[in-house]
Amino acid sequence: MQVIQGRSASFRERFDEILFIIGMSYFLTVVYLAAFCWLMPRIGFVKKSGINSRVIAVLFLFKVLAGFVLGWVSLHFSDSDYWLLNNDGWAEYQLLFRDPGAYFTNLFNVADYPKGYGGMLDSVQSFWNDLKYNIVVKLLSVFNIFSRGNYYINSIFFNVLGFFGHVALYRVFIQVYRGRYNAVIIGCFLLPSLLYFSSAVHKDCIVFTAIGVMCLALYQSFSQNKLTLKRAAGLLISLTVLLLLRNVVFMALLPAITAYSLTHYTKWKPLPVFAGVYIVSTILFFNAWRISPSLDFSAILAQKQWYFLQVMDANTAIEISKLEPTFTSFMRNAPQALNHAAMRPYLTEHPNLFLVPIAAELFAYQLLLVLFLFFRIKQADRQGQLFVLFGVCLTLSVFLNIGYIVTNLGTIVRYRSIYLPLFITPLLAGINWQKLKGLIKLKK
């Protein structure tokens, strides 16, 4: 009897301990969320946006809640790597106390890689490819000092980082489209797939912020004809982050920035300059291997497609033409690649229930494009025109890359989401909504 009572007491103690841990997790989540909602409008970088502090707090709250929903959905309904990342971050945190030497050196360990520090653009058995994952794991291990491994608290920390990307893009577009506050807010903060997929415990939110900071530093430097130390640091840090976490995006940025810079400094007409730069870039892309075999970019992209074919998600898999490392193959596959990246999922296809709202969102963007063509407000400011052209070219080149290599719709939707503001915000802010409303009233 005494043993039974002892076991019962032990069970109650353990149960009470579990309840205490759960209660503390909820309590800390609320405390951190309230603290950052209060702090975010008071940060200098955010205050410079000019957005009302209450609106900032609400927008940040929306982003965090989207991260919570994504975390819950991925735990119960999808086989994503968000929770795996969080678990690996907790293991790395434990390593800090168990073996500090290993913790501070394992990020640079190349013992298991045949090429050592080589093969920067490879998709398999590459230190650099695995570094993308390992950096996020290391960052999570730092956050775990404050979160104790709780996914939702880590989600708050990641969304603090990700929110700066939204603010940075807003600060650019509100200068390009002065007075079109609501359209820019929606385009930079509230696009559904952007809000959802950029709010995860993943590298996407970090990449998104790097893109935003890079765009802000670039636009301010050109529009004010002044590259300050702070802007140079912003460009250097953001481009380094992109090189380490998404080197394909870094490569796509090179011709876009070159064309943007050349047009700004020469005062030549933008379209011929951008077209010329991209033609030259295409020639270099297919002939760089002549300089060095490690720069065979067409073979690298073909290898990345092969890798995606090995790990594709059967639930949302799509048929894709095999990519060969030749100019002919890339040109032949380009229409299919752009269609997959920019037009799918269609409203008529439902391979997965969660893609239905994405299809509806994408259809809404297509309607926006039609409205933009008929009710466009001409953009008089040259710097604004150059930035919009830069953003559209960057988006289309990234979409083309995604369409070439990614073999399932779920990943396509996630990858493209963080580039949507560069394309959709100009549509929202470039439509003459007053004229459209007047036309609707006239018909009534």
pTM of the model: 0.91
User: What are 308-365's pLDDT values in tens digits?
Assistant: 877 666 677 788 888 899 999 999 999 999 999 999 888 887 667 788 889 999 999 9
What does the pLDDT look like over 102-126, one tens digit per residue? 999 988 888 778 778 877 777 777 8
pLDDT score at 293: 82
- Per-residue confidence (pLDDT) for residue 341, from 0 to 100: 92
Phi, psi for residue 361 in degrees, rounded to 5: -60, -45
* Residue 251 CA from chain centroid, whole number: 16
Residue segments in the chain with a per-residue pLDDT below the cut of 70: 1-24, 79, 311-314, 350-351, 380, 441-444
Return the structure tokens found at 422.
């560069």
The residue assigned the tokens 């997790």 is: 25
Closest CA to 163 of 118, 202, 208: 208
Give CA–CA dist 110/106, Å, rounded. 9
Which tokens in the block code for residue 2? Answer: 């005494």
Maximum Cα–Cα distance across the chain: 92
SS3 317: strand
